[in-house]
Structure 1
Amino acid sequence: MGPVSLDVARKPWEKWVDGEVDRSMWAWTKALMLLVLGITMLALLAEPLIHSVQNVSNSATIPSFFVSFILVPLATNARAAVTAIQTASQRKERTTSLTFSEIYDGVFMNNVLGFSVLLAVVYFRGLVWHFTAELLVVFIVCIVMGTAAGFRSKFPVWTSIASYLLYPLSLIFVYVFADFQ
Structure 2
Amino acid sequence: MERKQSHDNVQNNTDTTEASTEQEASPATRPHIYVASLSDYNDGRLHGVWIDPTLEVDEINDQIERMLRVSTDEGAEEFAVHDYVGFESLRLQEYDTIETIHRLAVGIEQHGDAFATYAEWVGTDQATTDGFEDCYYGTYQSMRELVEEWADSMGWTDEVTRLGDKLGIAPFLKIDYALLEDVFRTEWYVAETSSGVHLFTS
Q: TM-score, structure 1 length as denominator?
A: 0.22
Which structure shows the bigger proportion of residues in helix conformation? 1
- Greater radius of gyration (CA): 2
Which structure shows the bigger proportion of residues in strand conformation? 2
Q: TM-score, structure 2 length as denominator?
A: 0.21
